[in-house]
Structure 1
Amino acid sequence: MAIGAVMHTFTVQLADVDRGVYDELSLRIAQHPSETSAYLLTRVLAYALEYEEGIAFSEGISATDEPAVVVRDLTGRMTAWIEVGAPDAARLHTGSKLAGRVAVYTHRDPARLAPTWVGKTIHRAAEIPLYSFDRGFVEAASAVIERRNSVTISVTERQLYLEVNGHTFSSAITEQPVA
């Protein structure tokens, strides 16, 4: 954990109807001093929306050789590389070669993000989904994050319903290919 990092706990009630995943998650996440609340919340959303056995957070912003969220099988082999924010093409290329599946979750405008990858080498780029949320959704929801958080995440027909500490938000989950 970085010096000056702030620990957050999230008790998450997850109901992802689209994938048939229902669980209660207890998450402890260190927020790096240079990490925004929007990035932190996007990490939590990516974790919940990709939740499966073997999922874990990496060291976050300070991890240079791993994604924000990683899935490993029982042998320790990486099966999914999940990036958050605005990863560069080289990270996506590396992740796509190391893991069977790669995904990107962003709290930024995908129309501004996708052009940064044009013309760059990204292994299996057409198979990498870029997930984004309605404009202002992550920023509004991240404004109510505290050190201890009670969160409910419901997903049905690619619509995300989020409750954070008694405040409710909703957004479509938009998917487009990286390339």
Structure 2
Amino acid sequence: MALKATIYKADLNIANMDVHQYGDYQLTMAQHPSETIERLMVRILAYARYADEALEFTKDLFETDEPALWEKDLTGQLVKWIEVGSPDEDKVKKACARCSQVAIVTYGTAVDEWYKRNSKLKTLKNLEIWKLSLATTEAIQALCERTMQLQLNVMDGEWTLIGDNAQAVIEWEQLQ
């Protein structure tokens, strides 16, 4: 018998004073049986970085040709393609040909080696790559609950994610 996905819900309140973006988002995510809590929480941070009512979580671990998040316009055309982790270079190149904005939110100890090995990514003009620090991914796991109330505050480039029982300083490094 196949294992089923675990459903997580997060009420995410964003107060980004740097760009004057404020919003409340009700997120529902399915955690694939093979997905870690770390990756699940990184998906929430990816959503927060590109927050928009039209941004949706996909079936990326169930459907390997989909990203972690995407946004479509009113005609159904892909506008944003957001990957989490260290995706295959060919998949990213195809996404860059299809969408005006492509982003990768990457994390873990092998990121620098992955980025060096996938040198053609540097030639893609509509691609952003963000790396989360190890301290960040460790801290955000403490915020995870099946039902979460999260407050993200951004001021002077400093990101703080606050949950009911803990908080985490989010450290981003832009690789591209």
Q: Normalization by structure 1: what TM-score?
A: 0.88
Aligned partner of 1:134 in structure 2 is 133
Aligned partner of 1:114 in structure 2 is 115
Q: CA deviation at 1:123?
A: 8.9
| Pairs aligned (count) | 174
Deviations 1:54-73 (A, max 9, x none): 21111131221211000111
> Structure 2 CA distance, aligned partners of 1:68 and 1:125?
19
> Structure 2 CA distance, aligned partners of 1:136 and 1:123?
26
Q: Secondary structure at the match of 2:52?
A: coil
Deviations 1:77-130 (A, max 9, x none): 111111101111011111101100111101224323311312x4x595244221
> Structure 2 CA distance, aligned partners of 1:127 and 1:99?
8
Backbone CA RMSD of aligned residues: 1.9
Aligned partner of 1:95 in structure 2 is 95
> Structure 1 CA distance, aligned partners of 2:125 and 2:157?
20
Conserved 8 A contact 1:145-1:165: no
Q: Secondary structure at the match of 1:152?
A: strand
Aligned partner of 1:29 in structure 2 is 29
> Structure 2 CA distance, aligned partners of 1:155 and 1:30?
27
Q: CA deviation at 1:9?
A: 0.6
Q: Normalization by structure 2: what TM-score?
A: 0.90
Q: Secondary structure at the match of 2:113?
A: helix
> Structure 2 CA distance, aligned partners of 1:114 and 1:159?
25
Deviations 1:134-161 (A, max 9, x none): 3221122113411111111112233210
Please list every run of at least 4 consecutive aligned residues from structure 1 whose deviation after the TM superposition is greater than 6 angstroms. Answer: none
Question: Residue 172 of structure 2 aligns to which amino acid in structure 1?
Answer: I
> Structure 2 CA distance, aligned partners of 1:34 and 1:116?
25
> Structure 1 CA distance, aligned partners of 2:140 and 2:9?
16
Does 1:78 pair with 2:73?
A: no
Conserved 8 A contact 1:159-1:173: no
- Written as runs of structure 1 = structure 2, the 5 A alignment for 1:132-171 is 132-171=131-170
Runs of 5+ consecutive residues of structure 2 not aligned to the other structure: none
> Structure 1 CA distance, aligned partners of 2:64 and 2:71?
17
> Structure 2 CA distance, aligned partners of 1:123 and 1:111?
13
Runs of 5+ consecutive residues of structure 1 not aligned to the other structure: none
Q: CA deviation at 1:174?
A: 1.4
Conserved 8 A contact 1:32-1:60: no
> Structure 1 CA distance, aligned partners of 2:95 and 2:128?
13
Question: Residue 51 of structure 1 aligns to which amino acid in structure 2?
Answer: A
Q: Percent of aligned positions with the same letter in both sequences?
A: 28
